[in-house]
Amino acid sequence: MPEMPPIRLLIVDDHLSIRQMCVLVGEKMGLECREAENVEAALEGMEQNLPDLLLADLVMDRSTGLDLLAEVKRRWPLTEVALMSAYGSIESAVQAMRLGAYDFVVKPFRVEDLQRVLLHMVEKVRLMRENESLRSRLLGGAQMGFMPACTDLEELERLTMRQVFDQVGGDKERARKLLGISRATLYRKIKRYGIGTPPAAGNAVPGTLAGQRSG
């Protein structure tokens, strides 16, 4: 399988010291980091080089992190966004989550807290990339006659659910965040697909991918 490209992080904050600190943390995690000092510069840069992750301050000159979040989710919904603020409140956090933010970080934050948020966002991006790769391999194998087609969305969703739960060691809250679904939806899908129980023989994923004929 070809090596996946590095995960790109854009930090948007009008304070240079905060941007530099976030870049340092991101680069130590192996992320490809860029900076922008305001919302306008961030959007302009995203049109040229779209990041996988966006970390933005809530309060900036002229525009806010919520404005940026709303615009990013409208134009590039797959980009994961976390907001940070020294003026954290329940209302701001709730509004950010409603607009599609992955998390909300209160300043001043410890490096460990920022690393934790970025790590969880990275996990979600990697999962999306792996799922796309899995889908391509399954469809490619089917087209070459090496395995049954897996174009059924329910089957792909079941495979994704099992992959996520394996990745997080059965942690339901982390699985819910990675999948981007509500708790009620998560538990409904767990029951529907029998997650946490051995797969039935009839539902086992064939072990013959492209280039591997059975028998």
Per CATH, domain 122-202 is 1.10.3470 = no
215 residues of the chain, pLDDT tens digit each:
456 689 999 999 999 999 999 999 999 999 999 999 999 999 999 999 999 999 999 988 888 999 999 999 999 999 999 999 887 677 888 889 899 999 999 888 899 999 999 999 998 898 888 777 666 655 554 444 444 444 456 777 777 778 888 878 888 888 887 777 778 888 888 888 888 654 444 444 433 333 333 33
Residue 47: is it exposed, middle or buried by C-beta count within 10 angstroms (0-12/13-18/19+)? Answer: exposed
Superfamily of domain covering 8-120: Response regulator (3.40.50.2300)
**Residue ranges of domains in the chain:** 8-120, 122-202
Whether pTM exceeds 0.85: no
Burial track 196-212 (b if 16+ CB lie within 10 A, e otherwise): eeeeeeeeeeeeeebee
